[in-house]
Amino acid sequence: MLSDQTMSVVFDGTPLKAMQSSHSVTQQPALSTQELSQEIKSFISGVDAVQGRKLSVREHARCAVRLLRSVPACRGAVLEHLRGVYDEHVSAFLHNLETEGSASSGVNSNLEDIIQEVHGVLSEFIRLNPRAWAPLVSAWAVDLLGQLSTKHAGRRVAPHSSSLNELLQLWMSCAATRSLMEAYSQCLAAMLAWCPDACVDALLDTSVQHSPHFDWVVAHIGSAFPGTIISRVLACGLKDFCSHGAKELVIGVDKGSRVPKIGSVVGILGHLASHHSDSIRKELLRMFQESLSPSSPLSPTSSSTSWESSPQLRRAAVPFLLQLAAMSPNLFGAVSAELVELLRPPVLIQLQALLQGLPREELDNMLGLAVHLISQSPSGGARVLRFLADTATPASVIISGPTPSPHEGVREGCDRLLQMLLLHLHKLVFNRSDAAEVGPHHSALSQPQRVIPFLDELQSHVGQLCAETLRLERKRHLWLHQLLCLLSVYGGPSVATEALCQLLTQARNPEELALAWQLHTTLSSCMAGLVPSAVTRCVAQIHTHTLGPRQLRQLLLNLAAAIQSQDEERRGAAAAGAQSSMAVQMGSAVSGHLHDFGPLLLHGDPAVSQAAVYLLSCSPLPRTSSPAHLLLLSRAAVTHFFLALRRRGEAGKVGRDVGQAGEAVNCSVQLLSRFAAYSPLTLKAVLQQLVEGALHKGNADLFGGQIADMSGAPLASPSVSPDLGASLLDINCRFGTTVNFSGSVWSVFHAGVIGKGLKVRTAPHLLDPSGVIQNIQTLMSVVVQCCSSSGLNGSINGSLATSDPDEPPPINAEAAKVIAVTLVENVCPDVANGELSWPPEEHARTTVERDIHIRRCFEAHPVLFSLLQVVAAGRPALCYCSAVLRGLLATLLSHWESSRGVSSTDSLWHLQASCLLVSCMGEGQLLPPVLANVHEAFPHLTPFEVRLLLLAVWEYVRGNGPMPQKFVFSSEKGQFCRDFSRDGDVARYVAPIHSVLHKNIDRLGHLCWRFQL
């Protein structure tokens, strides 16, 4: 065919000729009107008008192209016809793919060259006259693309619309769609210069129409023109948004569908977000910033497009962005993080100026939207919150003068926003829990618990929130506190526990601690067991060592304060009931964890241990507790007591913190007495450990004791005390890591390092006597308090104590027995001859070594006498000390016997020991008063006479054994007493006394009355 030949010539030369200017003359001989008329007829009927045969698809298409080139009026019809051609090609292409055969490849390629031709013509037209053709072709191409992708979406080879990349690959490998795409890109490139909005409008419209299937087109175009498309899409959306009016928009995505463009804007940007999230973010932020920057015609921004120049659009930009963010979490997430950074004071002021012009209703809408967004934002919530709180917190009163600064409006806005946010969250949180409560069985599945991402995110920031709340800045802490409440309700018990625990840990004074009460008050209504779990959490914190000493101390003090508020409540009736209930709960919770707090008594930091004492001393004791825990606690308490004593001594020496150290000791005393009063077991344990502790080598110096050093090494002068640097502990620590048998391990012995001579004796660390006395006093008071408390026979002693408050309660016999037994165990290592009854004095020779040991003990530990006195007071406990008494008396006897001094006062210690021993025995009613009084005469006698009197004592005790069963409980005195009348005649033991009296009547006359029978 002639025309075919011309066409092929034309198309072969197309690229070259198309490059020529608009004056390129027509490349074909102009058809006559007759021919054109024939062509039109052929085109319409699909039959060759001359030869009368049917046209093939190919010929038909060529005919159409000829018409397109020569008859302008046929333009629409031709393009419509070409749709069919393109469609056919796509069908063939897909069919070919499906059959995977080459059967129809011939047809395929045939159509492909036609499509090439059409594409060539169209692109030539666009090149020559973009203004006329680009809108036309772009609309056509986009529409056709939409139609094709929708129509063939269901094909077997077509991937699912969600797999955008595969879809893109498929369509771009198809000549028809690729050609359309290229044509559209060409149009777009041409149109961007003068009417970018129109082409993007068309794209958006089509995108809405063919929603999921058309996405690949948008994605492709978007990635081809990312910058322009994104900004255009935004500008388009903004214009559309503006023309629809923001009034129609209410919060909620469902309403957004009324504005179709914004929906597709969101969709498109969502697609582009995967690859161009950066530019999208930049574009969105730029939009925001430019909408704020004052419209100055003097500064023409280079990138300014049409919307910036219209004040109306600029005003709509912020609501538009909000709406956009509300509809797409992706976009919102992309922007939110940087947006907060952008909101610096100048920007805020601009924003305020911009928003002032908006009607109130619209503002309210925006506010609601913003609140909704914040509550839905999955990340950056903490930053947003901080920003809001920072901005909304009023400046101090002094700075903000009578006239509100320009920031005032901003602040108020933020304030309002924050309050709305809290209200909104409140609604969300409580509605949510309501829903969950109403229908747990039937609606739980259909309506899952609504997630509030904002709160979700903040859950990990509870600690910071608590810290900020506790700063007690005005207003701010109210908001944050409210938020904490919401967060706790939202997050359930775990978050609530965490919050309460944090508050308890971080509070530093009663005002701050009150926040914890408030939180608990709010939450207690909907959450049970909050306090116990919070305490458990705190204990867990202690166990994991996450707290520093200061924090630990603070936590313990706070807990103690919490418990003590109970007592205050009891005293002052005006305090709130809720607080007391919390205090009670707190008390019981802490009491359940006493054994966890016990180890803290021995914490290296005195402040911590003191706080622990404080807590333990004010916390109620559990009703039941395992013995192991109790023993541990009492051991720790006693150890702490001695530590406190030592600290007091050191503080006294240095001269500071005396009061505090004293207070610590008092607390410790109080704690011990409470423990002792708790149960017989604890009493026993406490007493036992107190005694053992007092006699312990390390503590002996506290009570004026001297450690009897068995080694004979000379005392090194303080100036030359070379540190050998050998420590068995160090070597043992290293032992596992370094294998070093170079002899050093084996060269360390208890007596010194081999080759270095004997270990140097450390100079005894002597306290000043007043300190010693004070310590002994303290110890005695503890022991007495423990012994006299209602531990063993609580009912009896308690009743007595209440009946006669002036008189100190009597020493409990059982307690005294505990002391006695412990004493004996510690002082007298040898259990042989430990029976209570005394042998004849001569038999004492069999136990000389033991007796000497006992005497040395008494020499080393003056406190033993005091303890003996306590024991004596708790009759008949002294009986159990029989062995000790006997040993001491035996050594005293031998001393006085061998003493060649003129007066007993020459050996002072022995005199004192004798006096104390006898008076103790008298107090313990091991001796009748007549014999017990003999010690009054000792200082006036010669050693031999003292021996005589002591012998008399021995004899009496031998004759009348110190048996507990000889004591009878007298209810009027409240203690055991011994009736000496039942024993044998005292007179025969009194004879030597009288002889001595007689001999020294000149000096002892005034004492005679003491020895009357």
> What is the binding site for other proteins (CB under 8 A)?
21-22, 24-28, 30, 33-34, 36-37, 40-41, 43-44, 68-77, 79-81, 124-125, 128-129, 131-133
Whole-number Å distance between alpha carbons of 459 and 497: 12
The least CB distance from residue 127 to other proteins, in Å, is 10
Whole-number Å distance between alpha carbons of 932 and 930: 5
The least CB distance from residue 338 to other proteins, in Å, is 40
Whole-number Å distance between alpha carbons of 864 and 111: 118
Residue whose CB is less far from other proteins, 26 or 299: 26
Residue whose CB is less far from other proteins, 130 or 876: 130
The least CB distance from residue 27 to other proteins, in Å, is 7
SS3 976: strand
Cα–chain-centroid distance for residue 441?
34
Whole-number Å distance between alpha carbons of 533 and 527: 11
Which two three-digit tokens encode residue 475?
């207003």
The dihedral built from the CA positions of residue 212, 217, 220 and 226, taken in this order, carries a sign that is: negative
- Cβ contact 94:151 at 8 Å: no
Cα–chain-centroid distance for residue 105?
69
The least CB distance from residue 74 to other proteins, in Å, is 6
Residue whose CB is less far from other proteins, 136 or 382: 136
The least CB distance from residue 426 to other proteins, in Å, is 50
Residue whose CB is less far from other proteins, 137 or 425: 137
Residue whose CB is less far from other proteins, 41 or 656: 41
Residue whose CB is less far from other proteins, 27 or 279: 27
Which two three-digit tokens encode residue 841?
């004095």
The least CB distance from residue 202 to other proteins, in Å, is 18
The least CB distance from residue 138 to other proteins, in Å, is 15
The least CB distance from residue 68 to other proteins, in Å, is 8
The CA–CA distances, whole Å, from 544 to 497, 556, 590, 769 equal 17, 15, 18, 43
The least CB distance from residue 19 to other proteins, in Å, is 13
Rg, Å, the chain Cα set: 51
Which two three-digit tokens encode residue 857?
């003990």
Residue whose CB is less far from other proteins, 141 or 583: 141
The least CB distance from residue 32 to other proteins, in Å, is 8
Which two three-digit tokens encode residue 515?
């926040």
User: What is the secondary structure of 708-746 as a DSSP string?
Assistant: ---S-PPBPPTT--------HHHHHHHHTT----SSTTT
Residue whose CB is less far from other proteins, 10 or 786: 10
Whole-number Å distance between alpha carbons of 693 and 823: 11
Residue whose CB is less far from other proteins, 141 or 667: 141
Residue whose CB is less far from other proteins, 79 or 331: 79
- Cβ contact 193:228 at 8 Å: no
Which two three-digit tokens encode residue 859?
């020499």
- Cβ contact 85:114 at 8 Å: yes
Whole-number Å distance between alpha carbons of 1013 and 997: 14
Residue whose CB is less far from other proteins, 32 or 981: 32
Which two three-digit tokens encode residue 49?
């008008």
The least CB distance from residue 49 to other proteins, in Å, is 11
Burial letters 297-329, b for 16+ CB under 10 A, else e: eeeeeeeeeebbeeeebbbbbbbbbbbbbbbbb
Which two three-digit tokens encode residue 598?
């016990």
The least CB distance from residue 143 to other proteins, in Å, is 12
Q: Would you put residue 962 in left (φ > 0), alpha (ψ -120 to 50) or beta?
A: beta
Which two three-digit tokens encode residue 490?
């939202």
Nearest to 897 by CA among 954, 936, 839: 954
The least CB distance from residue 82 to other proteins, in Å, is 11
Residue whose CB is less far from other proteins, 41 or 734: 41
End-to-end Cα separation, the chain, in angstroms: 164
Residue whose CB is less far from other proteins, 137 or 414: 137
Nearest to 771 by CA among 666, 650, 937: 650
Residue whose CB is less far from other proteins, 12 or 568: 12
Residue whose CB is less far from other proteins, 69 or 855: 69
Please give the DSSP secondary-structure letter assigned to residue 969.
E
The least CB distance from residue 40 to other proteins, in Å, is 6
The CA–CA distances, whole Å, from 411 to 450, 962, 1002 equal 31, 88, 100
Which two three-digit tokens encode residue 788?
């006299």
- Cβ contact 850:828 at 8 Å: yes
- Cβ contact 869:876 at 8 Å: no
- Cβ contact 178:116 at 8 Å: no
Whole-number Å distance between alpha carbons of 854 and 885: 9
Residue whose CB is less far from other proteins, 131 or 973: 131
SS3 904: helix
Whole-number Å distance between alpha carbons of 575 and 431: 33
Residue whose CB is less far from other proteins, 21 or 742: 21
- Cβ contact 556:535 at 8 Å: no
Residue whose CB is less far from other proteins, 19 or 658: 19
Main-chain phi, psi angles of 976, to 5 degrees:
-80, 145
Whole-number Å distance between alpha carbons of 597 and 553: 11
The least CB distance from residue 179 to other proteins, in Å, is 20
The least CB distance from residue 133 to other proteins, in Å, is 7
Nearest to 357 by CA among 401, 303, 295, 283: 295
